[in-house]
Amino acid sequence: MKAAIRNAMPARQSGFTLIELIAAFVIFALGFGVMLQILGDSIRMTRQSQQATQAALYAQSLLDAQGVGEALNEGSSSGDFDDDYHWQLNVVRYQPQVTAGSTMTPALATPGQPELFQIDLTVNWGGRYLQHHARFSTLRSMLPQQPGSNNGNINPVPQPAMPPGFG
């Protein structure tokens, strides 16, 4: 009788059922999808960071050259660094603003006193549908132009002296 009861009960299976395999696959697929999303976002953020750094380097090189070799003049100009990066530069004479109740008074224009210029630079880059821009602003001081001067340069290039009898 005991043998008949043993044959009537199903044997205990070892391993995984189909439902357990499907559940494990779903968990794996969700985890893998999240990991791919994080990786894609990381690559996109790295590229945006690289583009912003490139724009800052271009801006620094252009701003460093302003007022060097020639005097600053008020006005606007624009151009291209390369096929992707474009710039717009605005130069205006800077007038410090005095607020009500302030003890500061604006300096009067005295001959030979340096003038301040505000330089605003906008760098644009990106495609047709997604444009990026970065704004940079700085102040630059220049000596005013004097008649017969070297256009506001602080250190003029000395001219060689001619020996007597030449010239």
* Buried-exposed string 134-162: b where 16+ CB fall within 10 A, e elsewhere: bebeeebebbeeeeeeeebbeeeeeeeee
53 within domain boundaries: yes
Task: Tally the domains of the chain.
Answer: 1
Which pTM value belongs to this model?
0.63
User: What domain range is 65 assigned to?
Assistant: 18-96+114-142
* 20-54: pLDDT as tens digits: 999 999 999 999 999 999 999 999 999 999 999 99
Encode pLDDT of 9-22 as tens digits.
Answer: 566 667 788 999 99
pLDDT of 81-138, one tens digit each?
988 999 999 999 888 776 666 665 555 556 667 888 999 999 999 888 889 999 999 9
Q: Evaluate whether residue 10 is within a structural domain.
A: no
166 domain residue, yes or no: no
Q: Residue 36 belongs to a domain with what CATH number?
A: 3.30.1300
